[in-house]
Amino acid sequence: MTLSSEEKIVISFATECFRNVADKDYICARMIYRLGLMEQFQWLAMQAIEKYLKSILLYNLRSAKGLNHDLEKALEKVEKIDYLEFELSEEGRKFITHLNQNAQNRYLEHSSHTLEDELLLLDHTVWSIRRYCKVINYEINHNGRTINMLQYELRQIKSDYYKNNPHKFSLIGGYLEEVIKRENSDPERKVLIWKNFYFGSRKKQKIKNFTCQLHSVTPPHFRDIRQYEILKRYIYFPHKIRRILEEN
């Protein structure tokens, strides 16, 4: 693979600062889910997916500027890379929309809720998106011939074999792949493979004793507009929250 010095810098950054950090956010989100801290789980889930999407842009030498935490906007920009033929299920798309509406709630600014199968949706969405988190459109020299590897990479990503055996798919140099190879007693490995259909050393056909973490919350300024009138003199409320409360 022949890359310019600028391309090497961008791609290295995509791996170290986006994909690897996203892998760690994902592991943290799964750990927080087990503790039942759902606002924190949703924030970390959003952070992981956001970084995976942005890494795809960088691997394809596209700008990730101006996206902030808008997952739908990032997804739309990824899908505009036509040669990627990006695939994401309807349930993955709905989960991204759900996080966009609920996860940016670090100070409990607005009401939020969880879906019944939130962790399973996160696992599915991360696996689906993460497959594209590598350089896909590149050329190699073989026996004096220049071969473009795009179609080979896309066949691997979209292979029915990997869809039926998701735990078999791996990224070269991936942080999750390194975690899975650790000893069974490793704490990160335990968190990653717990009740996980997609990541682990073996295929899981079913999950036993899984309890969904259902949760909803309404902050005090939404329960009583009079509290908002007092609180706005002391703290900053985002524009969209002010608009909702003041229009009502």
The token pair that represents 25 in the structure block: 């956010």
Return the pLDDT at 116: 82
* Per-position pLDDT tens, the chain of length 248: 677 889 999 999 999 999 999 999 999 999 999 999 999 999 999 999 999 999 999 999 999 999 989 999 999 999 999 999 999 999 999 999 999 999 988 888 888 888 889 999 999 999 999 999 999 998 888 877 888 889 999 999 999 999 999 999 999 999 999 999 999 999 999 999 999 999 998 888 777 777 778 888 899 999 988 999 999 899 898 888 888 888 86
Burial group, residue 36, by CB count within 10 angstroms (0-12, 13-18, 19+)? exposed
- R_g over Cα of the chain: 20
Distance CA 62, CA 81 (A): 9
Decide if 63 contacts 48 (C-beta within 8 A): no
Burial group, residue 245, by CB count within 10 angstroms (0-12, 13-18, 19+)? middle
Distance CA 124, CA 108 (A): 27
Distance CA 54, CA 50 (A): 6
Decide if 117 contacts 212 (C-beta within 8 A): yes
Return the pLDDT at 8: 92
Distance CA 207, CA 214 (A): 18
Q: How many CB atoms lie within 10 A of CB 224?
A: 10
Return the pLDDT at 60: 96
Which stretch of DSSP H or E encloses residue 139? strand 139-142
Q: Is 105 helix (H, G, I), strand (E, B) or coil?
A: coil
User: Using H for helix, E for strand and C for coil, what is the string for 201-236?
Assistant: CCCCCCCCCCCCCCCEECCHHHHCHHHHHHHCCCCC
